[in-house]
A = this chain, B = another copy of it.
Amino acid sequence: MNIGIVGLGLIGGSLGLDLRAAGYQVLGIARREQTCVDAIARGVVDDASVDLALLAAADVVFVCTPISAIAPTVQQLIPHLSANAIITDVGSVKKPVVEALEPIWTNFVGGHPMAGTAESGLEAAQTQLFAGKAYVLTPVKTTPPAAVNIVEEIARSLKAKIYQCRPEDHDRAVAWISHLPVMVSAGLINACINETDPAVLELAQQLASSGFRDTSRVGGGNPELGVMMARYNRGELLRSLQQYRTGLDQIISQIEREDWNALQGKLSINQQTRPKFLNLE
C-alpha cells in the first residue's frame, strides 16, 4: 500500500519513519525542496516532492499541515488523486475540519494522533512517537466504513490506542483536558508577572520550584499552538473556560468566607477524581 504524507514536520515525519518500518511505501510532500532532500536522506520517506502530483500513486494520504491549511491543501490535492484514495488528517480540532472536507471528498476520515514533543519540524521527527498514545478517529454518518477500517489499521501499526467518536465529542473532550489547561496555565504565569513589588517578584522567581514548573508548563509553550486551539475550538474552549471561572469564583468565595469545610470538600473530591484522568500514564 502506498501512503502519502503532506507536510513533513514533527508529526508527518514521525509517521513516515514508523510507516516505512511497518512495510508501507511512503511518499512525502513538502513546501521546500530542501525538506524533501532531508526527508529522503533521513529515511522518513521513500520518495518526496514539492509537487502534489507525486500522490497520484497514493492509496491513503495523511494531511499533516497546520489546521488552517488542511482544507486548502485538500482542495489542491483532489485533482491529483485516484478516485478511491482515502484522505485523513492529524488536526487537533475535528469539527471544523470534518465539516469542510466531508462534502468534498467521500473517502475522508478525520483523525487526531495525540502525540507530540516540545519540538517541531522534520529534525524533531522520531520513531515510536505514537506508541501507547491515543489516536482518535472521528467518522461521521457518511464516512464509508471501509475507509475507517483502513485508517484504523494503519494507526494500529503505529501501536497507538484507537478511539472513535463524533467530531463534536472529540472537540469538547480535548477542550477539557488539553485546551483549557493551556489557558488556565497561561493565566498563572500572566498573573505572577504582574506583581508590582520588584523585590517580591524576584523572590518569587527564586523560590518557584516543581509546583510552579508543572502548573505553568503548558501555558508557557508555543504561542501559535495556543492561538490555534482557541481559534478552531473557540466554542468548546469558551464553554470550558466559563465553567472553570464559575468554579474558581466558588473557591475564592470559600476562602473569603473562611468556609474551610467547603474548601476541604472540594479539594478532597479533586484528589479522589484526578486518578480517573490518568489512564494513559
Binds B, one of A15-23, A58-66, A206-214: A206-214
Give how many copies assemble into the complex. 2
Write the chain B residue with the least CB distance to A243. B191
| Range, interface on chain A | 35 or more
Q: Is the CB–CB distance between B266 and A186 below 8 Å? A: yes
Contact of A273 among B163, B189, B277 (CB under 8 A): B189
Whether A76 sits at the interface, judged by CB under 8 Å, is no
Binds B, one of A41-49, A98-106, A256-264: A256-264
Whether A40 sits at the interface, judged by CB under 8 Å, is no
Report A164-185 residues with CB < 8 Å from chain B CB. 165, 169-170, 172-174, 176-178, 180-185
Q: Is the CB–CB distance between B200 and A173 below 8 Å? A: yes
Known contacts A208-B279, A271-B223; is A180 also within 8 Å of B192 by CB?
yes
Whether A114 sits at the interface, judged by CB under 8 Å, is yes
Q: Is the CB–CB distance between A169 and B251 below 8 Å? A: no
* Residues of B with C-beta under 8 A to A258: 231, 234
Write the chain B residue with the least CB distance to A209. B280
A181 to chain B, nearest CB (A): 4
* Residues of B with C-beta under 8 A to A245: 245, 248-249, 252
CB within 8 Å of B: which residues of A?
114, 133-134, 136, 163, 165, 169-170, 172-174, 176-178, 180-195, 197, 199-200, 203-209, 211-224, 226-227, 230-231, 234, 237-238, 240-249, 251-252, 254-256, 258, 260, 263-264, 266-271, 273-281
